Structure 1
Amino acid sequence: MKLLATFALAALLPFAALAEGVAHHLAIHVDENDPAVMNMALNNAQNVNSYYESIGDMVEIELVAYGPGLNMFVVGKSPVADRLSAMSLEMPKIKFSACGNTLAAMTKKAGADVPLVSEAVVVPSGVVRLIELQEQGFAYVRP
């Protein structure tokens, strides 16, 4: 009898999860110093967030920038700095990850610190971060 009750409960668990809302995870990759690509990535994030909010689900989004795409987070160079600031306030489950390898190379080339927007968090490697996110079940998008 206990076994039957266990199977019945297990069959109902997916419906309980739906009632509470499902959590989704999205990694977005930016590696181009192109305002159109940066804006497309941010549009993707906003659209995904809006969709899942509209159906009562949650979504965690992490935007990872490396190589020339790191300019997205560089103070004075980012064409989307205002959007980053606004989105971080509007979307509490969004993260902006900056590649530490790229930042080190940019700093060496500049001969001085390269300041990033306050919303960005430095990770050791952008590529490694994307691997980690995918291994954790994040869907991957490259605009």
Structure 2
Amino acid sequence: MKQLTILAFLLLSVFTSAIAQTGEPKHKLVMQLNTSDTLIWKGLMNNLKNLKAGWGDSVKVEVVVHGPGVQFMMKDKTTQADKIAQFKKMGIDFVVCENTLRERKVSKDQLLPEAGFVKMGVGEIILKQEAGWSYIKL
């Protein structure tokens, strides 16, 4: 019986270690940005700074930008280019809705190089929520 208990403990340790090594973040957060309000943009940057300072690599964040928020990712309109580049290097993803780009006649080359793309901004948010991500609308 003692050998069986030791074996069970060892198997549990190996299993737990394998899960820990997957690199899966403990916290997953999708943030919706659909405003051209630069004060909201500044608040977003502060939230991202605090999340990374508090949770480091245990948090995965994706910022979904659509509607009027597309200006946040435009080279000639954003007030946050440097911070976006810093946060991208820290693993935060910034994705832009392709429907918004089409509707507003904005080309991808007008956007910061850190921009990723999704077909539908709202659809991306739904998919993330269905996958268990937390959601914040700014």
Contact kept? 2:75, 2:112, Cα under 8 Å: yes
Pairing 1:130–2:125 present = yes
Q: How many residues align?
A: 129
The normalised TM-score by structure 2 is 0.79
1:53-92 aligned at under 5 Å gives the runs 53=56, 58-89=58-89, 91=90
The normalised TM-score by structure 1 is 0.76
Pairing 1:118–2:113 present = yes
Deviating 4+ runs (over 3 angstroms)? none
* Structure-2 change in CA distance of 1:141 and 1:98 (3 Å): same
* CA apart distance, 1:113: 3.1
Gaps of 5+ in 1: none
* Structure-2 change in CA distance of 1:131 and 1:35 (3 Å): same
Pairing 1:43–2:73 present = no
* CA apart distance, 1:119: 0.3
RMSD: 2.9
Residues 95-127 of structure 1: per-residue CA shift (max 9 Å, x gap): 0010110011111xxxx7361100011110110
Structure 1 match to 2:104: 106
Gaps of 5+ in 2: none
* CA apart distance, 1:22: 5.6
Q: Which amino acid counterpart does residue 66 of structure 2 have in structure 1?
A: Y
Q: Name the % identity.
A: 30
Measured in 2, the distance between the counterparts of 1:118 and 1:21 equals: 26
Structure 1 match to 2:33: 30
